[in-house]
Amino acid sequence: MKSKIVWITGASSGMGKATALEFAKKGYTLILTALEADLLEQVKQEALGLGAKNVFVLPFDLSKKEEITALAEQAWNLCGRIDIMYNNAGISQRGTTVETEMRVINKVMDVNYFAPVLIVKSILPKMIQQGGGQLAVTTSIAGKFGFPLRCAYCSSKHALNGFFETVAAEYYKDNIRVTIVCPGRVQTNISLYALEKDGTPHGKMDKGQASGISVEKAGKQIVKAIEKQKREVLVGRKELLMVYVKRFFPALAAKIARSIESM
């Protein structure tokens, strides 16, 4: 069997890195994208040491919407195909709806929502032409309900769910499969780099984030779900119960959301 090719965004740390290393153990060819070129090189060397067939590094700022189509073309041309596209990169936000500046909301939407949309629109026709492929995306349980201080973040994650569910419905017959990765609390740096109401970094690890599952455990669950082509996978601990509370007891979910602690 020829090595499958997986492109991962947000691959320099957290779940992106953990997922890349899990794929590496299985002999995949990796294409890694994130802001930090030096960290990507470190992940590349780790991945090669674990058994990745080949690793390509494509550093990029996903807030540069006008350049994403060219990035997707470059990624595709590296190997002439992509079997799995995992849109994992994202940023969070801390601030009330009134106080959060529009430029912060725009940046969160650009990175979390519009970047994956542009990537999918670029490579999806090629995947169809090659006979199929798989799209994966990191959303969040924050994409299932809204709660305080996350107006932009929750919006972007709700939008991702709608977009990728639509793609799954439209192109199933073309052998396109979609896996929605829905994490709760995972020990990543997302809260450190979250944007405050004025765009400055949050700069601290939230209590809920610190108590989450390890990125290694999350990475194993994500890769397993992608390889099994699951429609959706919930990643986390007891906080995932909120997904079911929202489904069956929406009024209770709303009450809980009003007092939920930062994630």
Instruction: Give me the active site residues, please.
Output: 153
Helix (H, G, I), strand (E, B) or coil at 33: strand
Encoded tokens for 182: 């829905």
- CB neighbours of 197 closer than 8 A, spacing ≥ 6? 94, 95, 96, 99, 100, 101, 104
Residue type, 167: V
Q: Smallest Cα–Cα separation from 124: which of 113, 114, 115, 135?
A: 135
Residue 206 near residue 263 (C-beta atoms within 8 A)? yes
DSSP letter string, 193-225: S-B-TTS-B--S--HHHHTSB-HHHHHHHHHHH
Burial label, 135 (beta-carbon count in 10 A; 0-12, 13-18, 19+): buried
Residue 105 near residue 67 (C-beta atoms within 8 A)? no
Phi, psi at 134, each rounded to 5°: -130, 135
Residue type, 212: G
- CB neighbours of 28 closer than 8 A, spacing ≥ 6? 3, 4, 5, 6, 52, 53
